[in-house]
Amino acid sequence: MSLHIDSLADLVRGAVSGGDTTREDFERALDQAFPRDQLDPFEGTGSEEYLVGWTIDQDAASPAEAASKVWREVFQRGPWQPSADEGCVFTVSREGQRVEIDLSDEHFAHLFSD
């Protein structure tokens, strides 16, 4: 994040150093530091498929336990292992490392045996 802020500061300084700086100059500098590759939240054709995700902080002893705790506590799904047709695949990350966990997989059944 620090690199982006430093880049933004340098670009803005360069773009707005003259006395006749416009709003467009400032926005151009922002776009160079933070490119706009985002979707408009209200624009679409009405029949597109979207990947929807969110971030949830969870304390746990392992990535698998973190995913199962979110499944049970945040989504309030109970103590049973989810089936493959439920949205139960989580990407769990810590300190830049990531792992994908499909809680319907038999490897995670032991997390639901209580």
What kind and span of H or E run contains 109?
Answer: none
Q: What is the pLDDT of residues 4-45, one digit of tens each?
A: 666 666 666 666 566 666 777 777 776 766 666 677 778 887
- Whether the full predicted model's pTM is greater than 0.85, yes or no, is no
Q: Cα 91 vs. chain centroid, distance in angstroms?
A: 10
> Once rounded to an integer, what is the mean pLDDT over residues 45-59?
85
Lowest mean pLDDT among 15-19, 52-56, 104-108: 15-19
Task: Please report the beta strands in the chain, taking only residues with DSSP state E, as ranges in sequence order.
Answer: 89-94, 97-102
Q: State how far the alpha carbon of 31 is from the alpha carbons of 15, 27, 28, 71, in Å.
A: 12, 6, 5, 38
Q: Please state, in angstroms and rounded to a whole number, the distance separating the CA atoms of residues 104 and 64.
A: 12
Q: Please state, in angstroms and rounded to a whole number, the distance separating the CA atoms of residues 3 and 49.
A: 33
Which is higher by pLDDT, 110 or 49?
Answer: 110
- For the chain, give the percent of residues with pLDDT over 70: 69
* Average pLDDT, rounded, for the chain: 80
Q: Please state, in angstroms and rounded to a whole number, the distance separating the CA atoms of residues 108 and 114.
A: 13
